[in-house]
Structure 1
Amino acid sequence: MRKGISTAVGLAVGFALDRVFGDPRRGHPVAGFGSAAVALERRTYADRRSAGVVHEALAVGAVLGIGMVARRGAVVAVALATWTVLGGRSLAKAGRQMADRLESGDLAGARELLPSLCGRDPEVLDADGLARAALESIAENTSDATVAPLLWGAVAGVPGLLGYRAVNTLDAMIGYRDERYLRFGWAAARTDDVANLLPARVTGVLTAALAPMVGGHPADALRAWRRDASGHPSPNAGVVEATMAGALGVRLGGRTEYRHGVEMRPTLGEGPAPAVPDLRRAVRMSEAVQIAAVVVAVGIAFRRAA
């Protein structure tokens, strides 16, 4: 089977495995990578950018090496790698669970669930704050957990899939602006920004195109993107969050409390602050974008085979 065709089939099969089974409950390879990265950090950490560059190169380079070896397994290797790196089903499930708990008034349960979605401090958030945090996380992670790995898999096969997940995981671990990681995590954060430049914009286009599925208008989503995205501190999260806000007709951004401190985010979109029904709409949008993304990725892989 030609390489592009085997990649296309593997991506489709891996996406289906994620939709049916979700993340493995035990022994998840991404968790294993995280543990290895923590062990590596004990040896590489220093409060300077150069140390972070070395840490990033060693961790991601090792994963890319594994991907180069594993790519010889053709369809099976691509399918298993795709299943390993995707997190779309788990993302949607967590979003629905958050909506259920908020709807029932279970704030304690909602706060307990929030860390599975994002790094905000749940103890300082009320119901509206939890809904907004969950919705913004769903918007960003639709790109990070599904669109980006599928696109990297389409153009680079198994190394693209595994390498992207390594980059994104390291950013989630050390790409912070706190005292410990401001310099050491710089390379991880900047590498993740570069890796997500195109995927975030593909996510934005798909979100705008699919806005009618959640009662929105493509023009509103694109207007929010053009007007608001550049004010966000992230060149990629701003795109996907602004487009989602425009598609849903809600307002995101504002005071954002993390465990490492408080950030004042720009306003994204127009309308009221998001409520629980908007969170459910965001989950529907996320799932629609995920399906569209696998169609795009499979098409790119098939085109490579032509």
Structure 2
Amino acid sequence: MLLGVALDAVLGDPRRGHPVAAFGRVASGLERRVYADSRVRGAGYTALLVAGAAGLGCAERLPGARVPVTALATWAVLGGTSLGREGREMARLLEAGDLDGARRRLSHLCARDPKGLDEKALARATVESVAENTSDAAIAPLLWGAVAGVPGLLAYRAINTLDAMVGYRSPRYERFGWASARLDDLANWVPARVTGVLTVVCARRPDEAWRVLRRDGGAHPSPNAGRCEAAFAGALGVRLGGTNVYGGRLERRPEMGDGREPEVRDIRRAVRLSAVVTVAAGVLAATVARSVG
């Protein structure tokens, strides 16, 4: 697992032939065949794909395969390095005053409507996305790999990918994607809270990060995202949350933290904190895996 973390740190996501992209193509093809406006049909779709991904992970049991398969699977499912690159690219665009470029680039991090967002709103969106995705992209897969090996790594990434594909409250997916969305919430419940605690441990101001995490972590409408965002808000000394627009729908999120609004310079601070938290999670996951093994 630590070798996989190192591969992700050095190489990032594969440029071509990414296994997650291949899984997405399979999931899209299956959706076209089985889609119906039905929770039962959606649950079957989710179960089949997640079970299939977990089944592929059993390749670690082949003679001599455990180390290379675990390392490659860990590398394939981690996204921490790519997350950091996207954050730094947003910082670069904003530092250069390229608001139009930053608005276009924001879609690489989140589904928020970037139209009309100014520099501070783009900075806040980026910091919030880095905080939330630290759990999804790195901590959650590592923890699932620690307790369930390669099947856990692949099953988690399948769950998270399906949530990104069909886990929306839209006319098409509100029922069909219900199982994927709820399973993603369940799979991330513990990792999100571990992310919050590790953020406190890694923060320069752990007391403030812990205070904001405890006070504001449960205020977010997501059962998991708030823990990550609140811990980052306290650790960075900023205030996150507020009004967001998704697909023309206005959402007012509770504010987290007591500091100022995020500024462009806070993006790079958030990326550095995310990287440190990921390394800490890698050490924790390896320790847990060794104990379980």
Separation in 1 of the partners of 2:120 and 2:87? 14
Partner of 2:109: 117
Partner of 2:199: 207
TM-score, L = length of structure 1: 0.92
Matching of residue 49 in structure 1 with residue 39 in structure 2: yes
C-alpha distance 127-71 of structure 1, shift in aligned 2 (>3 A): farther
Please, which of 130, 133, 137 is the counterpart of residue 122 of structure 2?
130
Q: Equivalent residues in 2 for 1:244-283 (5 A)?
A: 244-259=232-247, 261-283=249-271
Q: Which amino acid aligns with 2:231?
A: T
- Please, which runs of 5 or more residues in structure 2 have no aligned partner? none
Partner of 2:222: 234
Q: Equivalent residues in 2 for 1:1-306 (5 A)?
A: 11-72=1-62, 73-212=65-204, 217-259=205-247, 261-305=249-293
Q: SS at the partner of 2:259? A: coil
**1:163-208 residue CA offsets vs partner (Å, 9 max, x unmatched):** 0000011111111112221121111111011111111111101101
Partner of 1:7: none
Aligned-pair RMSD on alpha carbons? 1.2
Separation in 2 of the partners of 1:280 and 1:129? 16
Separation in 2 of the partners of 1:19 and 1:28? 16
Separation in 2 of the partners of 1:262 and 1:60? 32
Aligned 8 A contact 2:78 2:141 in 1: yes
Q: Which amino acid aligns with 2:258?
A: E
Separation in 1 of the partners of 2:169 and 2:216? 22
Q: SS at the partner of 2:244? A: strand
Taking only the aligned residue pairs, the percentage that are identical comes to: 60
Aligned 8 A contact 2:59 2:69 in 1: no
Q: SS at the partner of 2:115? A: helix
Aligned 8 A contact 1:71 1:158 in 2: no
C-alpha distance 191-260 of structure 1, shift in aligned 2 (>3 A): farther
- Which deviates more, 284-293 or 114-123? 114-123
CA offset at residue 69 of structure 1?
3.2
Partner of 1:3: none
Q: Which amino acid aligns with 2:111?
A: G
CA offset at residue 71 of structure 1?
4.2
Q: Which amino acid aligns with 1:143?
A: S
Separation in 1 of the partners of 2:170 and 2:213? 28
Separation in 2 of the partners of 1:178 and 1:227? 31
Separation in 2 of the partners of 1:123 and 1:266? 22
Q: SS at the partner of 1:254? A: strand
Aligned 8 A contact 1:131 1:279 in 2: yes
Q: Which amino acid aligns with 1:124?
A: G
- Which deviates more, 109-118 or 198-207? 109-118
Aligned 8 A contact 1:200 1:239 in 2: yes
CA offset at residue 262 of structure 1?
2.0
Q: SS at the partner of 1:183? A: coil
Separation in 1 of the partners of 2:39 and 2:116? 32
- Please, which runs of 5 or more residues in structure 1 have no aligned partner? 1-10
Separation in 2 of the partners of 1:44 and 1:264? 35
CA offset at residue 264 of structure 1?
1.2
